[in-house]
Structure formats: C-alpha cells, structure tokens
Amino acid sequence: MTEYRVVGERLWASELVKIPEERLGVVIGKKGEIKREIERHTGAKIKVTQEGIQIEGLAERVEVAKAIVKAIGRGFSPERAFNLLKPGWKLEIISLKGETPKTIKRLFGRVIGRKGTARLQLEKLTGSLISVYGSTVAIIGDEQAVSRAYRAVQDLLEGKSHERVYRQLKKRIFFETFE
C-alpha cells in the first residue's frame, strides 16, 4: 500500500514492494550498483528491509522505481527493466496463482515455446518484453505493445494455437496502422 504526504507543494509517497527473496540480490546488484542506478534515474530512495523493499520520494518517481523493482522481481534483467524509464512504458503482470504446478509448467511452455521461440516471436510482433517467472507472465512495453502482448499471452494460455495467435497479431497490427 502506498502512503502519501504533502511536503511543501509536492506529493511524496512511500511504498513497500515485496518481491521473491531470490531476486533481492538482482535488485541490489554488485556492491549496490543496480539499487543506486534505480535511485539515480528515478530520484527515489530505496531501502531493503526485512519486510521488502521500501521506496520513497516524489509520488510519480516512486511509481517508476516500483515498476522497475517489480519487473526485476518478476524475472526481468535490470537492463530490460530499465526500459520502464521510457515515457509511456509500463509493466503488466498476468498471475497464474491457484493453478497446479503441473498446469503452470504446461502453460508457461506455451508462452515460452521450444528454445524460447514463442516468447521471442511474441516480443518481435508486439514490440514488448516478456518474462516468465514463478507463477507469473510479466510484460513491459508502451500501452499498445502491452495491450497486444497481453491479449496474445491470454490467447495462448486459453489454448489457442501459436499460428492462430501470430496471425491475429499480424492482422491487428496491419489494421492499427490505418487507424
């Protein structure tokens, strides 16, 4: 939950972000370099606590830092997560919580594909970045890219064939160019 307060004429925020423990080291980086990089680019302050990662600063900057931390927590490399610094880019997470481990493995296989080919094709067609980690599929991109990728991933998770999903994506992209 985000806590807000007004300091002068500015809205400050403080938020505790929880990510998988095994991803904490990635957020911090060697000698704290990734943590410092997030702070430098966003102007937010980051503290690692026993409860999670505490992010404080101007509200809009906390939101960006939070998205980067969450993206790293969902399996993105810091380099890929830093794309969230681009104007209009966002993070969307599809959760498969509640599914059995066997079902999650099968569904993730559909999104990833043999040797990662499906994920790469989805990224190429949608202009997004996709990570499969834990019980989630995470997507980074601008509004349009995330929307395309989200729908394509949902279609794959529902069992539609890869060929059909790719064909629908290509058709959607073609018609979007004329809107």
Instruction: Please report the pLDDT score of residue 166 as a whole number.
Output: 96
How sure is the predictor about 72, in pLDDT bands with cuts at 50, 70 and 90? very high
> Does the pLDDT at position 173 exceed 90?
no
Give the confidence band of 179 by pLDDT, cuts at 50, 70, 90. Answer: low
For the cut 70, the answer to whether the pLDDT of residue 36 exceeds it is: yes
3-state secondary structure string across the chain: CEEEEEECCEEEEEEEECCCHHHHHHHHCHHHHHHHHHHHHHCCEEEECCCCEEEEEEHHHHHHHHHHHHHHHCCCCHHHHHHHHCCCEEEEEEECCCCCHHHHHHHHHHHHCHHHHHHHHHHHHHCCEEEEECCEEEEEEEHHHHHHHHHHHHHHHCCCCHHHHHHHHHHHHHHHCCC
Q: Do domains 2-84 and 91-176 have the same CATH topology?
A: yes
The 136-142 sheet, strands edge to edge: 89-95, 136-142, 129-133
For position 89, what pLDDT does the model report?
Answer: 98
Torsion angle defined by CA atoms of residues 85, 49, 26 and 74, in that order, rounded to the nearest 10 degrees: -70
Residue-wise pLDDT for 76-117, tens only, equals: 999 999 999 999 999 999 999 999 999 999 999 999 999 999
The pLDDT of residue 2 is 78
What was the pLDDT predicted at 177? 76
User: Per-domain residue ranges for the chain?
Assistant: 2-84, 91-176
Once rounded to an integer, what is the mean pLDDT over residues 15-35? 96
Within 10 Å of residue 170's Cβ, how many Cβ atoms? 11
CATH code: domain 91-176 is 3.30.1370.10
Confidence (pLDDT) at 155: 97
Residue 161: pLDDT band with limits 50, 70, 90 = very high
Confidence of residue 10 (pLDDT cuts 50, 70, 90): confident
In CATH terms, the fold of domain 2-84 is: Ribosomal Protein S8; Chain: A, domain 1 (3.30.1370)
Q: What is the mean pLDDT of residues 48-56?
A: 94
